[in-house]
Structure 1
């Protein structure tokens, strides 16, 4: 991931509705959630939520899959991994032992 891609992802996640939608999709990975379920969680109208979903998709954070008549949304776990690695790549100036508490906290959950 390069800086521009990271900035796109972070900008997409910088809105409360988009952040919560993405977190919900991560929670339900790999199965995903239907667009309708996400709309219900957001308590927004379908058209308003679709705008937020488009921003997440444009940043590569969400992918869509057609299942019958439903659109299933998925968090791009590869993109999330790339963003997290981009942010932590130079962690503590290459001193990995200083990042161990962060890694341990992620591993516990």
Structure 2
């Protein structure tokens, strides 16, 4: 992953409501959540939610898909896994036992 891409992803997550939104979508799994359900769960006004969804989407951390009259948003697990790997790939001065659990979790297929 390029540094510029990693910075865009980190920047998108560096706000309390966006981080809460992303974590909610991670918990929801691949099925995702409708925008209305997200707004209700987070207590966020629709216009604020729309802006937050747009920022996370442009960073590649979430994606939306139309289902009928709703847009269902879901976390892009590969994007966050790639970011974690980018942050940890050269860590620990050769002591891989320190970073191995994090890297294994990020590279696992638990969410596929």
Compute the TM-score of the two structures, normalised by the length of structure 2.
0.87
For residues 61 and 105 of structure 1, the distance between their equivalents in structure 2, rounded to whole angstroms, comes to 17
In structure 2, C-alpha distance between the alignment counterparts of 1:9 and 1:97, rounded to whole Å = 27
Q: Which residue of 1 aligns with 2:46?
A: 46
Write the distance in 1 (CA, Å) between the matches of 2:25 and 2:100: 27
- The alignment's C-alpha RMSD in Å is 1.9
TM-superposed CA distance for 1:95, in Å, is 2.3
3-state secondary structure, aligned to 1:64: strand
- Structure-1-length-normalised TM-score: 0.89
Superposed CA offset, 1:53-106 (max 9, x none) = 100001000100111111000100110110010011112123211224546888
Q: Distance in 2 between matches of 1:92 and 1:52?
A: 34
1:27–1:90 Cα change, 3 Å: same
CA contact (8 A) 2:85 2:103 kept: no
- Runs of 4 or more consecutive aligned structure 1 residues displaced over 3 Å after TM superposition: 100-107
Distance 2:101 2:68 in 1: 44
Report the secondary structure of 1:80's partner residue: helix
1:49–1:88 CA distance, 2 compared to 1 (3 A)? same
User: Aligned residue pairs: how many?
Assistant: 107
Unaligned runs of 5+ in 1: none
1:29 maps to: 29
For residues 25-67 of structure 1, what are the alpha-carbon distances to aligned partners after superposition, in whole Å with 9 as ceiling and x for unaligned?
1111111011111111221210111001100001000100111
Aligned to 2:19: 19
